[in-house]
Every structure is written in structure tokens, then in C-alpha cells.
Chain A
Amino acid sequence: SAVISQKPSRDICQRGTSLTIQCQVDSQVTMMFWYRQQPGQSLTLIATANQGSEATYESGFVIDKFPISRPNLTFSTLTVSNMSPEDSSIYLCSVGAGQVQETQYFGPGTRLLVL
């Protein structure tokens, strides 16, 4: 499976600021996703990061709050904008792999605390 890294691994931020999280894969992948995992909760899909076009956002998530870039097939960024304490979560990227790319492998996550 692909080797996936994320930066930063953790951060503490002040409310009202923005943080950009990077996701790097060691091979080209078509499907790349961003998830949020709130403390003690399950994973919720934020958006699908599309190479060369705008990301596809899930219900409840908007581009102004979570802008996503996907400049090539090995890299994506997620920005958490104008942060509030409710944004404190783990943010994970994942990539699709397998025969029809239905299997997802996750990055190590970015632990964000907003004060």
C-alpha cells in the first residue's frame, strides 16, 4: 500500500486563525479524501480532493471554511479557516487503492487543538 504522510502531526492554534495541513503520498493516486474525527467519535468525510478541479464537499462542509488544493496526483492540502474551538479534531487524509480503488488507506492524521 502507499506510504502517506501528513504535516503537521499536531498543532495548537488560536481562534480566528487558519491552519493548512499537507498530505503527501509516495505514489500517484487518483482518489484522495479528507476526513474529520472529533474526539472519541467516528470518521466523517469532509470532501473528495480532485486533481485539477474543485474539491467535492459533503453536506455540512463548505469551501470557504475548508479550502482544499490538489495540484498533482501525490499531494493535497486542507486548510481549516477562521478556526473556533469546535474545529478541534483529528484531520486525516486517505487515498484510494486496490482493483477499483475502493480500498482507502489513511495518513497518520493531524491533531488540532483550537484555543
Chain B
Amino acid sequence: GENVEQHPSTLSVQEGDSAVIKCTYSDSASNYFPWYKQELGKRPQLIIDIRSNVGEKKDQRIAVTLNKTAKHFSLHITETQPEDSAVYFCAATLPGTYKYIFGTGTRLKVLA
């Protein structure tokens, strides 16, 4: 079955710097890759997603890139702010299943 690896597990950056989180998936048929942000005690919130027919997607300070050949996708956050501090989860899903396989999560700390 599908497996998703996520790195790093923790990441500390200075405010204003960029943060990059990487995920690798195992099943080349996976076609949808969402990213979620989970603040302490809160539900996971979708922040950006990408489909397999697209290489990059951007939304203000957040971008996601997908390399289908290497089977990895990355979350890029530019100009980080303290409110970006949270746990970020990537996920992959196979066509027609609607089931998510989540990565292990990255705890991002933005230092003011």
C-alpha cells in the first residue's frame, strides 16, 4: 500500500526566513497531495493542495511543488511569521479511493 515519509520532524527558523518541508510517497499512482496545518489543540486545516497533473501551486506565502518522477512533493513557506508555528502534515491519496495516507508531521517553530 501507499506510504508517505515526511522530513524533517522538527524545524526551527527565524522570523522572515523560509521553511521547506519534504514528503516522499511510494505509490506512483497517487494523484492528489494536500497539506494541513494543525495548531495546538485545534483541528487540521487544509492550507494548500496539488494534483498530479500540476508541478507547482502558489498561494501568497505558501507554495507546493511536485516531482512525479522522484515521487516527492514539498511545502515552501516564505517570509515566515510566528503564527506559522504549528505542526504540518502532508498526505497522498490514490485515485478513486478518497483515502488519505498522512506523513508523520513536521513541527515548525518560527522564532521571533
Query: Which chain A residues have a beta carbon within 8 Å of chain B's beta carbons?
Result: 31, 33, 41-45, 48, 58, 92, 96, 101-109
Contacts and interface: CB of A to CB of B under 8 A. Distances in A.
A42 B101 CA distance: 10
Contact of A102 (B44, B89, B98): B98
Contacts, number: 44
A43 B104 CA distance: 8
Nearest to B104: A42
A-side binding surface: helix, strand, loop or mixed?
strand
Interface residues of B, number: 19
Contacts of B98: 31, 33, 48, 96, 101-102, 104
Contacts of A42: 89, 102-105
Interface of B: 32, 34, 36, 42-46, 49, 89, 93, 98-105
Given A103-B46, A106-B43, A106-B44, A45 B89 contact: no
Contact of B99 (A48, A103, A105, A109): A48
Q: Which 8 A-B pairs have the closest CB atoms?
A: A106-B43, A42-B102, A102-B32, A43-B102, A42-B105, A108-B43, A42-B104, A106-B44
Contact of B93 (A41, A44, A102, A106): A102
A58 B64 CA distance: 29
Contact of A43 (B32, B42, B44, B93): B44
B56 to A, nearest CB: 19
A104 B100 contact: yes
B34 A104 contact: yes
A103 B43 contact: no
